[in-house]
Amino acid sequence: PCRSVLTVACEQTEVLLFDPISSKHIKTLSEAHEDCVNNIRFLDNRLFATCSDDTTIALWDLRKLNTKVCTLHGHTSWVKNIEYDTNTRLLVTSGFDGNVIIWDTNRCTEDGCPHKKFFHTRFLMRMRLTPDCSKMLISTSSGYLLILHDLDLNKSLEVGSYPILRARRTTSSSDITSSGSSGPRAVGSPCHQNDSGPLSEKHMSRSSQREGGSPRNSLEVLTPEVPGERDRGNCITSLQLHPKGWATLLRCSSNTDDQEWTCVYEFQEGAPVRPVSPRCSLRLTHCIEEANVGRGYIKELCFSPDGRMISSPHGFGIRLLGFDAHCSELVDCLPKEASPLKEIRSLYSHNDVVLTTKFSPTHCQIASGCLSGRVSLYQPKF
């Protein structure tokens, strides 16, 4: 968070640490895990967590990197995502076992942290918390987006124990409530065929309609509109949130794996207009087609710290995208219908497919990493 260290998760059990100012290599954690390292999350300026395909999460202290603070066991498959609630000091992780697990770092010991399974859904890809931790968003390989409203991480959720808001498809139209009440389509995915959706019909039949404000942990099931996808279905591979909580950013690929899109969806707040047809929480505002290279690999994109730009992997480089040509705030250039994102600058320095990119939280600096292992740092000028 203070921009003093750049951490890099690597395929072969390693975590690399660099000084982003001088670009010097600080340290290599050569056996950080027993399998691929997938994600790194700082809890404060010295503590960070890593997760891996070895099904574990590890906690580290920058002041003593020779040993882990502790290792967390609880997932049964590859762990792909780490979030953190700074208010409650709860660590939240998700994996390909479909589980979202809560870890109480307030009671952390050398043997680990107390934990509990918070939520489960099939074909889980990514999980994110909004900046104020009032919502949890979960994307799936079958094209569904799940939103838990008025989030309470202290309450474990079992299927049927939470209100389900009507499943529906998002739209770019300004009349959200007129989109009808049909549920999401069941579509296949590159990884999972014959998917019948994240929730079974018998549980959907118990769904409770939102009247006024949402109850705690009420679940909304959406099928986001993706340009060009139409009737072929899509897989939501990357999920990010606007730093001010105004929107969500998705990277989607078609089930036929021949198209990729970056899409921005504005959060639609407030009570529904009609209880029988609740307001859809997301509206597609901006999108752009991506370079269809590196099929089968997930490309992680990100917002700038002020939310005015998006950095997106694009072939052997990255593209800086804006909501308009002047890098205006999203709220100042919301279109009535979905509009193309504007390309502000393209940066190319890799000889392989770029898989991840990240803005510095404090300076005009961007990092990118490619499949062959090269990490590049940029200070773009405009």
- CATH code where residue 285 lies: 2.130.10.10
Confidence class for position 258, pLDDT limits 50, 70, 90: confident
Residue 310 lies in a domain: yes
> What are the strands of the beta sheet with 56-61, ordered from one edge?
37-42, 47-52, 56-61, 70-73
Q: What is the domain range of residue 335?
A: 234-381
Residue 213 lies in a domain: no
Mean pLDDT, range 170-198, rounded to an integer? 36
Residue of 188 and 93 predicted with greater confidence? 93
Residue 85 lies in a domain: no
Predicted model pTM? 0.85
Tokens at 343, concatenated: 């390309």
Confidence class for position 157, pLDDT limits 50, 70, 90: low
Number of domains within the chain: 1
Question: What are the φ/ψ torsions at residue 346 (nearest 5 degrees)?
Answer: -115, 140
* Predicted confidence (pLDDT) at residue 44 exceeds the cutoff of 90: yes
Confidence class for position 57, pLDDT limits 50, 70, 90: very high
pLDDT digits (tens, 9 = 90+) for 195-213: 445 543 333 323 333 334 5
Average pLDDT value for the chain: 83
Give the chain as a 3 state SS string.
CCCCCEEEECCCCCEEEECCCCCCEEEEECCCCCCCEEEEEECCCCEEEEEECCCEEEEEECCECCCCCEEEECCCCCEEEEEEECCCCEEEEEECCCEEEEEEHHHCECCECCEEEEEECCCEEEEEECCCCCCEEEEECCCCEEEEECCCCCCCCCCCCCCEEEEEECECCCCHHHCCCCCCCCCCCCCCCCCCCCCCHHHHCCCCCCCCCCCCCEEEEEECCCCCCCCCCEEEEEEEECCCCCEEEEEEEECCCCCEEEEEEEECCCCCCECCECCCCEEEEEEEECCCCCCCCCCECEECCCCCEEEEEECCEEEEEECCCCCCCHHHCCCCCCEECEEEEEEECCCCCEEEEEECCCCCCEEEEECCCCEEEECCCC
Residue 11 lies in a domain: no
So what's the pLDDT on residue 180? 29
Confidence class for position 266, pLDDT limits 50, 70, 90: very high
Whole-number Å distance between alpha carbons of 127 and 163: 19
Residue 267 lies in a domain: yes
pLDDT digits (tens, 9 = 90+) for 202-250: 333 233 333 345 578 889 999 888 886 555 567 899 999 999 999 999 9
pLDDT digits (tens, 9 = 90+) for 165-175: 555 566 543 33
Whole-number Å distance between alpha carbons of 321 and 345: 7
So what's the pLDDT on residue 185? 28
Residue 7 lies in a domain: no
Residue 360 lies in a domain: yes
Residue 245 lies in a domain: yes
